[in-house]
Amino acid sequence: MVCTDNIDFTIPLQPAADRRMIKFVLMVNRQGQTRLSRYYHSVELSRRAALEADVVRYCLSRKKDQCSFVEYKDFKVVYRQYAALYIVVGITDSENELSIYELVHNFVEVLDKYFSRVSVYFSLQSELDIMFNLDRVHIILDEMIQNGHIVETNKSRILAPLTAIDKMVES
Amino acid sequence: MSDVVEKTLTALPSLLSLDSHPGSAKLSSTSKLGNLIRGITELTSKHEEEKLIQHELLAIKEQVSSPNTTMRQMKELMVRSIYCEMLGYEASFSYIHAIKLAQQGTVLEKRVGYLAVSLFLNESHELLLLLVNTVLKDLQSTNLIEVCMALTVVSQMFPKDMIPAILPLVEEKLNHPKEIIRRKAVLALYKFYLIAPNQVQHIHNKFRKALCDKDPGVMTASLHIYLQMIQENPDAYKDLTPSFVTILKQVVGGKLPMDFNYHTVPAPWLQIQLLRILALLGKNDQSTSEVMYEVLDESLRRAEMNHNITYAILYECVKCIYTIHPKSDLLEKAAKCIGNFVLSPKINLKYLGLKALTYVVQQDPKLALQHQMTIIECLDHPDLIIKRETLELLFRITNAQNVTVIVEKMLEFLCISEDDHTTIDLVGKVAELAEKYAPDNEWFIETMNTVFSLGGDMMQPDIPNSFLKLLSEGFDSVEEDRKLKLFAVNSYVPLLRGEPGKLPQRFLQVISWVLGEYSHLREDLEPAEVLSLLAKLLDMKNSSSETKSWVLMAMTKLCKGGTDASVTQEVSETYSSSLDTVLRQRAHELQYLSQDPELRARVLPRGANPETLEVDSSLSFLDRFVSEALAAGAAPYKPPHQRQEELDQSKALSLEPYGLSLPISMSSCSITDRQSPTLLSMSSGLSGDSADLSHKGGSSALKLDGVKRVWGREGYLAQREPVEEAAQVEVPSPIQSPGRQGEGDSLHSQTPTQTPTPEPEQEKQQLASSLFVGLASQSSVSLMGKSEPTPQRFRRKAKGQGPGSSFNASEQISSSLISPPSAVDNLLCNNLLDSNNASELAEQTSQLSQRLTTANGTCHTEAELTEPDTKGCNPALRRDNCVVAADPGPHDDPGRLTEVCLDSYLPAELSGLSHSEIAPLCANQSLNLSACHVQKEDSLILVVFIINSSESAIQQMLLQVDSEELEVSCLCDSPAGEMTSHSVAVGQYSLTVKRPAVHVEVVGTVSYQLPAGTSQSLQFSYKVPLTSFIRPFVVSTEEYGTMWLSFSHDTKQNLTLINDNQEPLTATLNALKKKLQLHVVEVIGMEGIVACRLLQDLPCLMHCRVNAGWLAVWLRSPVPDLPDCLIYHCQRALQSL
Residue B687, Cα to own-chain centre: how many angstroms?
Answer: 20
Per-residue pLDDT, B476: 67
Nearest to B979, CA basis, from B956, B961, B945? B956
Q: Answer whether residue B732 shows pLDDT above 80.
A: no
Minimal-distance CA residue of chain B relative to A139 = B115
Q: What is the CATH number of the domain that holds B518?
A: 1.25.10
A with B: how many residue pairs have Cβ under 8 Å apart?
273
Is residue B368 less than 8 Å (CB to CB) from chain A? no
Q: Are residues B445 and B536 in the same domain?
A: yes
Which residues from chain A sit within 8 angstroms of residue B674, using beta carbons? Answer: 11, 13
Q: Are residues B917 and B1009 in the same domain?
A: yes
- Domain span holding position B1131: 1033-1135
What DSSP string runs through B703-770? Answer: HHHHHHHHT--SS-B--PPP----GGGT----SS---HHHHHHHHHTT--------HHHHHHHHHHHH
CB under 8 Å to B813, separation ≥6 — which residues? B364, B366, B776, B779
Q: What residues 81-120 of chain A have any CB closer than 8 A to a CB of chain B?
A: 82-85, 93, 96-99, 101-103, 105-106, 108-109, 111-112, 115-116
Contact: A49, B88; criterion CB under 8 Å: yes
Residue B911 buriedness (CB in 10 A; 0-12 / 13-18 / 19+): middle
Which residues from chain B sit within 8 angstroms of residue A139, using beta carbons? Answer: 111, 115
In DSSP terms, B1111 is beta-bridged to B1055, B1106
Could you say which of A45, A71, A128 has the minimum Cβ distance to residue B385?
A: A71
> CA distances (Å), B302 to each of A61, A99, B480, B632, B1002, in order?
37, 17, 60, 74, 77
pLDDT bin (cut points 50, 70, 90) of residue B437 is confident
Nearest to B671, CA basis, from B692, B714, B700, B642? B642
Percent of chain B scoring above 90 in pLDDT: 16
Contact: A147, B191; criterion CB under 8 Å: yes
Q: Cβ(B88)–Cβ(A48) under 8 Å?
A: yes
Q: Specify the pairing of strand B966-970 against strand B1049-1056.
A: unpaired
Report if residue B433 sits inside a domain.
yes
Q: What residues 677-716 of chain B have any CB closer than 8 A to a CB of chain A?
A: 677-678, 680-682, 698
Report if residue B48 sits inside a domain.
no
Average pLDDT over residues B11-34: 48
Q: Which amino acid is at B250?
A: Q
Q: What residues 844-903 of chain B have any CB closer than 8 A to a CB of chain A?
A: 853, 856-857, 860-861, 864
Q: Are residues B448 and B588 in the same domain?
A: yes
Q: Are residues B462 and B582 in the same domain?
A: yes
pLDDT, tens digit, for every residue of A151-161? 999 999 999 99
Q: Which amino acid is at B61?
A: K
Contact: A7, B312; criterion CB under 8 Å: no
Q: Are residues B992 and B1051 in the same domain?
A: no
Q: Cβ(A155)–Cβ(A110) under 8 Å?
A: yes
Report if residue B835 sits inside a domain.
no
Q: Are residues B462 and B576 in the same domain?
A: yes
What is the rounded distance in angstroms from the CA atom of residue B484 to the CA atom of residue B435? Answer: 14
What is the rounded distance in angstroms from the CA atom of residue B739 to the CA atom of residue B117? Answer: 63
Q: What is the CATH number of the domain that holds B1051?
A: 3.30.310.10
What is the rounded distance in angstroms from the CA atom of residue B172 to the CA atom of residue B50? Answer: 48
Distance from CA of B678 to the nearest CA of A (A): 6
What is the rounded distance in angstroms from the CA atom of residue B155 to the CA atom of residue B166? Answer: 12
Helix, strand, or coil (residue B1063): coil
pLDDT, tens digit, for every residue of B1074-1132? 888 888 888 887 888 889 888 878 888 888 888 777 888 888 888 888 888 888 888 88
pLDDT, tens digit, for every residue of B205-244? 888 999 999 999 999 999 999 999 998 889 989 999 999 9
pLDDT bin (cut points 50, 70, 90) of residue B774 is low
pLDDT, tens digit, for every residue of A2-22? 333 333 333 333 444 446 689
Minimal-distance CA residue of chain B relative to A143 = B152
Q: Cβ(B390)–Cβ(B378) under 8 Å?
A: yes
Highest mean pLDDT among B102-111, B563-572, B1119-1128: B102-111
Better pLDDT: B361 or B150: B150
Provide the residue-wise pLDDT of chain A in tens; the chain has 171 residues: 333 333 333 333 344 444 668 999 999 888 888 889 999 988 888 888 888 888 888 888 888 888 899 888 778 999 998 877 889 999 998 899 999 999 999 998 888 888 875 544 332 333 346 788 889 999 999 999 999 999 999 999 999 999 999 888 887
Q: What is the CATH number of the domain that holds B258?
A: 1.20.930
Q: Cβ(B1007)–Cβ(B970) under 8 Å?
A: no
Report if residue B697 sits inside a domain.
no
In DSSP terms, B283 is beta-bridged to B324
Q: Are residues B986 and B1052 in the same domain?
A: no
**Helical (H) or strand (E) element with B391:** helix B384-397
Report if residue B200 sits inside a domain.
no
Is residue A9 less than 8 Å (CB to CB) from chain B? yes
Contact: A153, B262; criterion CB under 8 Å: yes
Per-residue pLDDT, B395: 87
Q: Are residues B290 and B439 in the same domain?
A: no
Distance from CA of A149 to the nearest CA of B (A): 8
Could you say which of A111, A128, A156 has the minimum Cβ distance to residue B259?
A: A156
Q: Answer whether residue B139 shows pLDDT above 90.
A: yes
In DSSP terms, B968 is beta-bridged to B991
End position of a domain, from candidates B363, B378, B393:
B363
Per-residue pLDDT, B606: 65
Contact: A14, B671; criterion CB under 8 Å: yes
What is the rounded distance in angstroms from the CA atom of residue B883 to the CA atom of residue B1057? Answer: 32
Which residues from chain B sit within 8 angstroms of residue A58, using beta carbons? Answer: none
What is the rounded distance in angstroms from the CA atom of residue B880 to the CA atom of residue B913? Answer: 8
Contact: A36, B698; criterion CB under 8 Å: no
Q: Answer whether residue B166 shows pLDDT above 80.
A: yes
For chain A, the C-alpha Rg in angstroms (whole number) is: 18
Could you say which of B18, B860, B1108 has the minimum Cβ distance to residue A16?
A: B1108
Distance from CA of B857 to the nearest CA of A (A): 7
Q: Are residues B451 and B555 in the same domain?
A: yes
Report if residue B774 sits inside a domain.
no
Per-residue pLDDT, B564: 60
Per-residue pLDDT, B279: 94
Q: Answer whether residue B31 shows pLDDT above 70.
A: yes
Is residue A54 less than 8 Å (CB to CB) from chain B? no
Highest mean pLDDT among B20-29, B35-44, B72-81, B1103-1112: B72-81
Q: Answer whether residue B249 shows pLDDT above 90.
A: yes
Report if residue B651 sits inside a domain.
no
Minimal-distance CA residue of chain A relative to B33 = A132
Helix, strand, or coil (residue B451): helix
Contact: B82, A135; criterion CB under 8 Å: yes
What is the rounded distance in angstroms from the CA atom of residue B823 to the CA atom of residue B929? Answer: 84
Q: Are residues B986 and B1040 in the same domain?
A: no
ipTM of the complex: 0.88
Better pLDDT: B382 or B140: B140
Report if residue B546 sits inside a domain.
yes
CB under 8 Å to B479, separation ≥6 — which residues? none
Contact: A134, B791; criterion CB under 8 Å: no
Contact: A16, B118; criterion CB under 8 Å: no
Q: What residues 613-652 of chain B have any CB closer than 8 A to a CB of chain A?
A: none
Q: Are residues B347 and B423 in the same domain?
A: no
Helix, strand, or coil (residue B1132): helix
Which residues from chain A sit within 8 angstroms of residue B316, using beta carbons? Answer: 96, 99
Number of structural domains in chain B: 4
What DSSP string runs through B276-333? Answer: HHHHHHHBT-HHHHHHHHHHHHHHHHHTTSSSHHHHHHHHHHHHHHHHBS--HHHHHH
Per-residue pLDDT, B115: 94
End position of a domain, from candidates B1028, B1055, B1089:
B1028
End position of a domain, from candidates B599, B633, B661:
B599
What is the rounded distance in angstroms from the CA atom of residue B252 to the CA atom of residue B1055? Answer: 44
Q: Are residues B1039 and B1017 in the same domain?
A: no
